[in-house]
Structure 1
């Protein structure tokens, strides 16, 4: 059986849809932050505050649900093999980065749900602090790795998650 040269169309759609939602929530947490600040100070949020916070929450829940589908699809579908002509440590870094991405993609919405819907302050701190910072770092590493693969190593790693 020949190895796949690209991810399947559903895998690519899930990847990019999740990327958009993750960037949206990382870049625009203002509604949730305003809601949390009001609640913490004993003030009543306006319907607009609640709606803005809900947008952030619903995007996070969508990320979690898409991550479950994506992980299930990954478990039942073949994935392209890593490039052969590169140092082994790059394969290790890629594996660790992908593991961390999946872990953080699950941890971020779960801690957000715990904070927003159940009022767990520790979850709010972890969600908006260490997990958010680590997610940013791993996302940047992931993008950097894809660009290095494409421009320096001239591999098909970036193409197989974009145009196939």
Structure 2
């Protein structure tokens, strides 16, 4: 039987990862500055390396937490889609979640390839393609949660915030 809510560890991981993801998406100046210096053959200071390392370490943390989330998802399960959600949109939600998990693995791996192994193609894919796709999926994910909350008035948002005790 599927759980009514996500477990406390699943919820903590979700919101913690959300903060880390938005941090890296919004505050990517350090790694971008480092990249421009490397590409131009300019001098890189310890401060430049430290700023780039912050982005890299947060990305590695996201990768490790994504693997942990997938393991918890497999062990503990996830709530079923609410009955109010049309079947087509339920499929869209499943595909969106799957793609989000895929990106939470591919983005750090491509970033590692670019930063630690100097793979320019991995860096281009990371910054120019995957980053845009991630933003689009995040917008869709948030929009879906808001539609559930305010249009269908389901417990989807509650299941990932404070949890639900019983089905209505």
Aligned counterparts of 1:86 and 1:20: Cα–Cα separation in 2: 27
Matched, 1:145 2:144: yes
Indicate the structure whose relative CO is greater, using CA pairs within 8 Å and at least 6 residues apart: 2
Aligned counterparts of 1:85 and 1:144: Cα–Cα separation in 2: 16
Q: Aligned-pair RMSD on alpha carbons?
A: 0.8
Gaps of 5+ in 2: 164-168
Aligned counterparts of 1:110 and 1:87: Cα–Cα separation in 2: 35
CA contact (8 A) 2:107 2:126 kept: yes
Aligned counterparts of 2:51 and 2:93: Cα–Cα separation in 1: 35
TM-score normalised to structure 1 length: 0.97
**1:35 corresponding residue in structure 2:** 34
Aligned counterparts of 1:118 and 1:154: Cα–Cα separation in 2: 48
Aligned residue-pair number: 163
Shift in Å, 1:86: 2.5
**2:64 corresponding residue in structure 1:** 65
Structure 1 runs, 4 residues or longer, greater than 3 Å off: none
TM-score normalised to structure 2 length: 0.95
1:1-35 Cα shifts (integer Å, max 9, x gaps) = 5x422100000000011100000000010000000
